[in-house]
């Protein structure tokens, strides 16, 4: 039990360090627009990159105009923006869609999908619920208490 929690702890620290150093984050697909490659419930690790590094075929998350919800679709066209060397105009389309998104997205950076895993998003969503956080905290507290609790061997050698 302690070994498993130690591995989870080390993995968490490694993820936090890598995400901070490399600009990584996790997104969860809540619609089927990227099916079958990234179906509803898939999770993806994304990395913040300058728009100048984007190419046709990349899957990116960009802000949706007039909405708090971003869009994650595949890049089907990249064009320069006159007078702005940093920005690009992106035409996007979901893999499950037969037509491009109605308007191009003009961005100077985007979150590009590095790797995706079907079904893992549901675990991420469940882990963020208050019940899961409380349960995990109680398990960690119990494991620490168990590890620090004086055992029979310790009492004998102390005498």
Looking at every residue in the chain, the average pLDDT score rounds to 89
Residue 7 lies in a domain: no
- From 11-25, 27-41, 77-91, the region with the lowest mean pLDDT: 11-25
How many domains does the chain fold into? Answer: 1
**Distance (Å, whole) CA 33 – CA 39:** 8
pLDDT tier, 11 (very low <50, low <70, confident <90, very high otherwise): confident
Environment class of residue 10 by beta-carbon count within 10 Å: exposed (0-12), middle (13-18) or buried (19+)?
Answer: exposed
∠32-35-41 over CA atoms, to 5°? 60
Per-residue pLDDT reduced to its tens digit, 82-122: 999 999 999 999 999 999 999 999 999 999 999 999 988 88
**Distance (Å, whole) CA 2 – CA 146:** 9
Residue 11 lies in a domain: no
What percent of the chain shows pLDDT beyond 70? 94
Kindly report the number of other CB atoms within 10 A of residue 155's CB atom: 9
Per-residue pLDDT reduced to its tens digit, 39-58: 999 999 999 999 999 999 99
Q: Give the pair of three-digit tokens for residue 94.
A: 């979901």
Per-residue pLDDT reduced to its tens digit, 142-159: 888 887 888 766 555 555
Residue 3 lies in a domain: no
CATH of the domain at 100: 2.30.30.30
Q: How far apart are the first and last CA of the chain?
A: 29
- The Cα diameter of the chain in Å comes to 81
**Distance (Å, whole) CA 48 – CA 86:** 14
User: Residue 30: which of 43, 21, 47, 19 has the closest Cα?
Assistant: 43
Enclosing domain of residue 35: 26-149
**Distance (Å, whole) CA 120 – CA 27:** 10
Residue 12 lies in a domain: no
Give residue 158's pLDDT: 56
**Distance (Å, whole) CA 159 – CA 8:** 36
pTM of this structure: 0.76
Secondary element (H or E) of residue 15: helix 2-22
Place of tokens 């004998």: 156
H helices present in 23-129, as ranges: 120-127
């Amino acid at each position: 039990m302690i070994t498993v929690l130690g591995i989870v702890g080390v993995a968490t620290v490694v993820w936090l360090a890598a995400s901070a150093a490399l600009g990584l984050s996790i997104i969860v697909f809540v619609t089927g627009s990227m099916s079958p490659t990234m179906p509803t419930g898939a999770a993806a690790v994304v990395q913040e990159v300058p728009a100048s590094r984007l190419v046709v075929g990349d899957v990116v998350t960009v802000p949706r105009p007039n909405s708090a919800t971003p869009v994650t679709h595949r890049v089907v066209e990249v064009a320069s923006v006159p007078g702005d060397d940093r920005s690009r105009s992106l035409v996007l389309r979901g893999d499950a869609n037969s037509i491009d998104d109605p308007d191009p997205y003009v961005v100077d950076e985007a979150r590009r999908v590095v790797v995706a895993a079907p079904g893992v998003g549901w675990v991420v969503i469940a882990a963020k619920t208050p019940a899961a956080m409380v349960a995990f905290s109680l398990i960690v507290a119990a494991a620490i208490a168990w590890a620090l609790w004086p055992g029979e061997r310790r009492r004998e050698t102390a005498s």
